[in-house]
């Protein structure tokens, strides 16, 4: 029965780690949620409500333990135009619809598409995330009182040095408490969490979005909901894969996809702006604080509301410099420094480096992780197709009596490699009988079948016969179904 118990119920050390990690994440979530609310053009309370409901719900229904889901900048950017043009009611309705779409996509197995994302795209994704996390902190370091800079430096020093003393308490929490105490006690005037916006004073209340339930409303919100669903799933699944690698554990991506949808549905009915997995806060939870269970995720959301409602005045006094230091530490820890080491770059194929750079540039330029992943993956596929296209080869051997020529085709035949195949045969000079041996090849698509048909047609025009041999079972099935059916205008 012991194996059925969560670790945090049987191990006090795990309990302490999870509780303190949840507290640190909750503190880091507050200014982020308020900032994302501003991006979406809504009251800061709606971003905080979204972070609360997303974290608490995903802790129960999600497929990746210790991952943090909350209001995010990517989702806020997607739905901001809808709020500007049609109002808050349509935004909330879009969040709920996006949740339903995520449930459907999850049930249809969209998570399985993760296997097609190359490692170089994943590395670019991680590195661009680290850059974005750092870039979001730059505005907090410009046009601010000079006292902010020593606070940030002090926070970084505390987070580097404190773990050498003890790891029982997360260094970011120690840093936040010490810097807050110093600024309040000394009366140092620096930007604080309270300057970002008013914190809510009560829990969110469930309700329906204030929109007419008509087809016109559905047509208005559907494009935004679909975009939000895709962006949210992509960021969440990429984050889940990253946490899998960090913790050396596996997660249920299908359950996570459906869980993200359920969390957004709940969030929408509670008036939140929706969200998805947050990589920065997840890194604080998993990599910096060492959390590994659902408890930290649940407590991050619970502590968020407790801090806002019960300790609002205290939380409002936290200097932004303390949280900036935490996020800078997260960006440094997240970046894959090994990927840009000279030794690594020398050994890495040029195509892999190009894919990584394209992913990073697209993400940083658009501030949208999903765009970078899509463009990076497409770039990787193009490079792969170009590389594989040259692997198909053709060699010709004429029988001693000169009556037959045997062409031996080796490699993978698909749209890229088969395009040049037509020109590899000597139609005029070959004898009347031609054998094309495909025992060392594989036919993957209709383009290859059409190419083989074209070769046969050219020989037939010269009164010569072609025999195709050696097809493996899948290739023979495909060739049998499509041969003769692919002529232009058929």
Under the banding of pLDDT at 50, 70 and 90, the label for residue 487 is: low
Give residue-wise pLDDT tens across range 105-141: 999 998 888 777 888 988 898 888 788 878 888 888 9
Closest CA to 62 of 197, 205, 264, 351: 264
**CA trace torsion 23, 25, 28, 29 (10° rounding):** -110
Position 149 scores a pLDDT of 96
Position 360 scores a pLDDT of 93
Contacts of 60 (CB under 8 A, 6+ apart): 294, 298
Position 1 scores a pLDDT of 41
Question: From the CB of residue 325, how many other CB atoms can be counted at a distance below 10 Å?
Answer: 25
Task: Measure the CA–CA gap between 356 and 362, rounded to whole angstroms.
Answer: 10
pLDDT at residue 488 tops 60: no
Position 438 scores a pLDDT of 93
Query: Residue 393 — φ and ψ, nearest 5°?
Result: -135, 155
For range 69-79, the mean pLDDT: 86
201: tokens are 């004073």
Give residue-wise pLDDT tens across range 310-364: 988 888 899 999 988 988 887 888 788 989 999 888 888 889 999 999 999 998 8
- The percent of the chain in helix, strand and coil, each rounded to the nearest 5, is 70, 10, 25
pLDDT at residue 482 tops 90: no
Contacts of 327 (CB under 8 A, 6+ apart): 28, 133, 134, 136, 137, 280
120: tokens are 């170089």
Task: Measure the CA–CA gap between 291 and 6, rounded to whole angstroms.
Answer: 13
Under the banding of pLDDT at 50, 70 and 90, the label for residue 169 is: confident
For range 399-425, the mean pLDDT: 86
Per the CB < 8 A criterion, the answer to whether 392 and 418 are in contact is yes
Distance of CA 379 to the CA centre of its chain: 17
pLDDT at residue 299 tops 70: yes
- Give me the residue label for tokens 């669903």: 229
Task: Measure the CA–CA gap between 356 and 252, rounded to whole angstroms.
Answer: 26
Cross-strand partners of 192: 319
Give residue-wise pLDDT tens across range 374-394: 899 999 988 887 777 666 788
Q: What CA–CA distances, in Å, run from 303 to 31, 46, 56, 306?
A: 14, 16, 10, 5
pLDDT at residue 222 tops 90: yes
Question: From the CB of residue 328, how many other CB atoms can be counted at a distance below 10 Å?
Answer: 19
As a whole number, the mean pLDDT across the chain is: 89
- Give me the residue label for tokens 């969560």: 6
């Amino acid at each position: 029965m012991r194996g059925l118990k969560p670790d945090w119920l049987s191990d006090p050390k795990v309990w302490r780690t999870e509780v303190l990690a949840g507290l640190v994440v909750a503190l880091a979530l507050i200014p982020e949620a308020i900032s994302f609310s501003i991006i979406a053009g809504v009251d800061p309370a709606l971003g905080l409500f979204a972070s609360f409901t997303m974290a608490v719900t995903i802790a129960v229904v999600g497929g990746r333990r210790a991952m943090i889901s909350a209001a995010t900048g990517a989702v806020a950017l997607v739905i901001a135009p809808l709020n500007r043009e049609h109002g808050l009611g349509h935004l909330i309705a879009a969040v709920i619809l996006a949740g339903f779409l995520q449930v459907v996509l999850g049930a249809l197995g969209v998570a399985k598409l993760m296997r097609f994302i190359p490692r170089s795209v994943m590395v670019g994704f991680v590195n661009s995330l680290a850059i974005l996390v750092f870039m979001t902190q730059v505005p907090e370091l410009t046009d601010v009182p000079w006292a902010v800079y020593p606070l940030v430096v002090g926070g970084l020093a505390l987070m580097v040095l404190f773990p050498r003393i003890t790891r029982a308490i997360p260094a970011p929490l120690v840093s936040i408490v010490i810097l807050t105490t110093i600024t309040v006690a000394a009366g140092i005037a620096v930007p604080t969490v309270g300057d970002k916006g008013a914190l809510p004073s009560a829990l969110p209340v469930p309700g329906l979005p204030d929109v007419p339930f008509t087809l016109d409303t559905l047509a208005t919100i559907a494009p935004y909901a679909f975009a939000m669903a895709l962006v949210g799933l992509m960021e969440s699944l990429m984050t889940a894969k990253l946490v899998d690698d960090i913790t050396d554990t596996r997660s249920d991506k299908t359950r996570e996809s459906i869980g993200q949808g359920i969390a957004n549905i709940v969030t929408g009915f509670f008036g939140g702006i929706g969200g998805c997995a947050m990589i920065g806060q997840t890194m604080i939870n998993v990599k910096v604080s060492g959390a590994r269970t659902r408890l930290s995720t649940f407590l991050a959301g619970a502590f968020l509301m407790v801090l806002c409602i019960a300790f609002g005045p205290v939380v409002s006094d936290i200097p932004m410099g303390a949280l900036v230091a935490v996020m800078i530490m997260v960006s440094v820890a997240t970046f894959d420094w090994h990927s840009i080491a000279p030794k690594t770059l020398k050994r890495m194929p040029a195509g892999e480096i190009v894919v990584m750079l394209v992913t990073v540039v697209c993400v940083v330029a658009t501030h949208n992780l999903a765009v970078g992943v899509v463009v990076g993956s497409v770039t990787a596929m193009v490079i792969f197709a170009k590389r594989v296209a040259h692997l198909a080869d053709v060699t010709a051997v004429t029988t001693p009596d000169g009556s037959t020529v045997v062409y031996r085709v080796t490699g993978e035949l698909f749209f890229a490699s088969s395009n040049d195949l037509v020109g590899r045969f000597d139609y005029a000079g070959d004898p009347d009988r031609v054998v094309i041996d495909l025992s060392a090849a594989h036919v993957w698509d209709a383009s290859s079948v059409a190419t083989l048909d074209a070769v046969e047609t050219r020989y037939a025009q010269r009164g010569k016969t072609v025999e195709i041999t050696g097809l493996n079972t899948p290739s023979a099935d495909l060739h049998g179904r499509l041969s003769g059916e692919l002529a232009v205008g058929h």
